[in-house]
Structures are given as structure tokens and as C-alpha cells.
Amino acid sequence: MSEQKDITILAIESSCDETAASVVVNGRTVLSNEISSQIDIHTLYGGVVPEIASRRHTERINQVIRRAMEEADRSFAQLDAIAVTCGPGLVGALLIGVSAAKALAFGTGLPLIGVHHIEGHISANFIAFPELEPPFACLVVSGGHTHLVRVSDYGEYEILGRTRDDAAGEAFDKVARAIGLGYPGGPKIDQAAKLGNPEAIHFPRGRVADSAYDFTFSGIKSAVLNYLNQMDVKGEAIRVNDVAASFQQAVVDVLVGHAMEAAEQYGFRRLALAGGVASNSALRRQLRAACGECGIDFFCPPPVLCTDNAAMIGSAAYYEYRRGVRSGYDLNAVPNLQLGERVSALRRGGVE
Ligand code: KG4
Ligand code: ZN
């Protein structure tokens, strides 16, 4: 790959509540990584309000793209492609990024590349660890997804396990709301848990009966809600930090347990972590320790590359570009896009 011309990609991400744009060279070198967060506005409602997210993306997207280009000190003439998250995510939110990317691709004549959001999360590891190459295993834990994936090559994924109900991040957000920590739930539970006792309350570590590697988090979440109800009925005050720490420990035990069992069965030598929940301090620490005990190399991007950003989309797009993948102007937002699913007529060997 090294003797080929540099490929510079402008990537756009708007699948949920961050409006983001980034310029990335050869999938690994980030020239700019602009993120406009909507936390302030959604905090007022205790969670992401899709209509408000779409409106805010519309207001911010041009500004964020302009800043990313300025920070990277690149003109459109110096780019090789425009990439954008086309799914999964909130349909209205996705559409803003997809429309902006299509307009830019049409106006500049540059190729357009639609990127799977989870493929982006996994690719954050390529930015953080320039020496990392497939094959490796990846535990993807975000607000909408919990997947244990074997990355057999760039753009080639085999899903070994996935959640049957709530995603890990969703459970964090719901429990945070129930114990009064509010939005965004994951980081607040992470902070509160540092002051609590993870063994104070035992919450069940859910298992799926017919699958070793699928996940279930709804039981843990319900157990926390039941506990809160019981305490309310008894008129006892809850110790928020202990509930946060005990809940977090249950989720971390399940994630680490599944990953290590799969590592043993499949013989993984390398395990990467990805997605917003990958910024959880307890998960990072405990998975690193478990990998260390088993002689597995552990990779985990810095928190800013774990939560939603466009640099990770630019990295994934580079490897799609190298595979000859191009999207047509029929590229659409696909809210429930599956990993590995192709979305547009011109996906492979399409127009340059
Ligand atoms: O990947 P992401 O930014 O967006 C999605 O693709 O969903 O993940 C967001 C999720 C939210 O559920 C948020 O609560 C969770 O990641 N999260 C965390 C932490 N930081 C973000 N969960 C636990 N601990 C954290 N420190
Ligand atoms: Zn995400």
C-alpha cells in the first residue's frame, strides 16, 4: 500500500447527536476532527429527541465541514472522496449528513462513499494503532449496538455475538435516568461508580440460553428498576453511587466474560474495543487486565475516538475506497443497516 498515492477523504457523521466532519489521509492520519455536540439541548429532555437532533444537524453541518477543511488546510480540489455515515442511526439525523455529502460530491465531482457507522467505530482502532491490521476480534459497544465481531480483513466482518435486546449503552442511559443521573447516562454512571461499591448490590449477569456469545442486558436493567421500586416501597433511600457501581460491574462482567470465552474458543490473539461505551473506565481497565492474563494484545482507542466522530468514518471509507467501493447519488439513509450490508447500486467498481 505504501508506494501508492495518498488518498485524502472528507468524512461526515450525523447519525445521532453529534455533527462531525474530519479530513483523514490514508485511513490513519487525521488532519482535522471537528465535533459539534448537542448534549446541551438534549439534556433538557433527558435523552436524544430525534426531531431536535435533525434540526441541530441542519444548523451546524456546513459550519462543521468548513472548520474541518480549514483545520486540515485542504481545498476540495485536494480531496479524493467524500464519505458519510449512511446507517444505522436516526433516519432524520442521517439524512442531513447524507444530503450534505451528496451535494458536495455532486458539486465537486468527487466519488461518494457511504459508510456503515459500526464499521467506523471499529476503524477508530486503525487511527489509534497504526500498526494494527486484520485479522483481529472487536467488541463493539455503543448506544445502539453490542456486537462481538471477527474482523477477518478490511471491510470483512463475521458477527460472533450480538445483543438480543438492549444495547449496553442503552442500558447505561436507562439506568442513569432511573437513578436520577440524567443524560448522557454512560459518562455519569462511570463517574458515580468511581465513588461507589461495585459489590454493594448483586444484579444478575444475563446469559442467552441458546447462544454463548449473544448478549442480553434487559434483565440487568429490570433488576435495577425492581431494586429501586423495592427501596421506594420500604421507604429507604438509595445510594446512587453504589447502584451505579454495582450495575456497571454487572455489565462489565458480561462484556468481559463473553469476550474472553470467545477469545479462548476462537483462539484470538488480538482484541480491540470500540463504540461509545468503550470509553467506560472500568470496562477498559478490566478488559485490558483480562487480555493481559491470557496473553492477548488489547487495543482501545482514546475516548474521543470511541464516541461518535467523523475521523473513524474517514478511516473506514479509505479501506472501502481501496476495495473499489463507490456509492451512487441514490445513496440513502438506512436506519437499521446491518454490518456488511451494501446500500447503493454503485457499491463496487462504480464511478470514479
Ligand atoms: O457510539 P456512541 O457515541 O453512539 C452510538 O453509536 O450509539 O455511543 C453512545 C453511548 C451512549 O449510550 C452513552 O451513554 C455511552 O455510549 N457512553 C458510555 C460512556 N461514554 C459514553 N457508557 C459508559 N461509560 C462511559 N464513559
Ligand atoms: Zn456510534
Q: Could you tell me the CATH number of the domain that includes residue 215?
A: 3.30.420.40
Q: Is 261 found in the same domain as 151?
A: yes
The whole model's pTM is what?
Answer: 0.95
Residue 113 near residue 325, CB atoms below 8 Å? yes
Q: Is 193 found in the same domain as 224?
A: yes
What pLDDT score does 46 carry?
Answer: 87
Q: Is 158 found in the same domain as 112?
A: no
Atom 22, ligand 1: residue with shortest CA distance:
186
What pLDDT score does 347 carry?
Answer: 56
* SS3 at position 222: helix
Residue 165 near residue 218, CB atoms below 8 Å? yes
What pLDDT score does 144 carry?
Answer: 92
- Nearest bound ligand to the CA of residue 13: 2
Report yes or no on 128 lying in a domain.
no
Please tell me if the CB atom of residue 275 comes closer than 6 angstroms to any atom of ligand 1: yes
Please tell me if the CB atom of residue 144 comes closer than 6 angstroms to any atom of ligand 1: yes
Per-residue pLDDT band for 341 (boundaries 50, 70, 90) equals confident
Q: What is the mean pLDDT of residues 181-204?
A: 97
Q: Is 106 found in the same domain as 167?
A: no
Is 70 exceeded by the pLDDT of residue 96? yes
- Nearest bound ligand to the CA of residue 252: 1
What pLDDT score does 6 carry?
Answer: 98
What pLDDT score does 91 carry?
Answer: 98
Q: Is 310 found in the same domain as 285?
A: no
Per-residue pLDDT band for 350 (boundaries 50, 70, 90) equals very low
Report yes or no on 2 lying in a domain.
no
Tell me the residue range of the domain where 335 lies. 8-123+306-349
CA 53 to chain centre: 17
Strand 18-25: give its sheet, edge to edge: 29-37, 18-25, 8-13, 81-87, 112-116
* SS3 at position 308: coil
pLDDT tens for 261-312 read 999 999 999 999 999 999 999 999 999 999 999 999 999 999 999 999 999 9
Is 60 exceeded by the pLDDT of residue 345? no
Give the number of the atom of ligand 1 that is nearest the alpha carbon of residue 121.
Answer: 1
Q: Is 145 found in the same domain as 30?
A: no
Strands 297-299, 270-274: parallel, antiparallel or unpaired by DSSP?
parallel
Report the domain count for the chain: 2
